[in-house]
Amino acid sequence: MNKLLGLLENKIPRDLNKLDAMFEDYRNSDFIPKNTADISRSIKDISEGILLDIGTKKF
């Protein structure tokens, strides 16, 4: 459990910085989500990527 918490503490901030950079690209572009489904799909894709990345780490 402690290894998992350590992994989360070390991994999530880097991913959040990456996530923030992705949203910065959206803020600087003309991209406007047409509906909440577009936003939900983007969040789902990003969160699945984070979980997959965490899942590939060996404990």
**Exposure string over 27-47, b if 16+ CB within 10 A, otherwise e:** eeeeeeeeeeeeeeeeeeeee
Q: How far apart are CA 49 and CA 14, in angstroms?
A: 13
pTM recorded for the entire structure: 0.31
Confidence (pLDDT) at 29: 66
Confidence (pLDDT) at 4: 66
DSSP SS3 for 56: coil
Name which of 43, 56, 39 is nearest 16 in CA terms: 43
Q: How far apart are the first and last CA of the chain?
A: 10
Confidence (pLDDT) at 14: 61
Per-residue model confidence as pLDDT tens digits over 9-53: 665 556 667 777 767 766 666 656 666 777 777 778 777 877 777
Judge whether residue 59 has pLDDT over 50: no
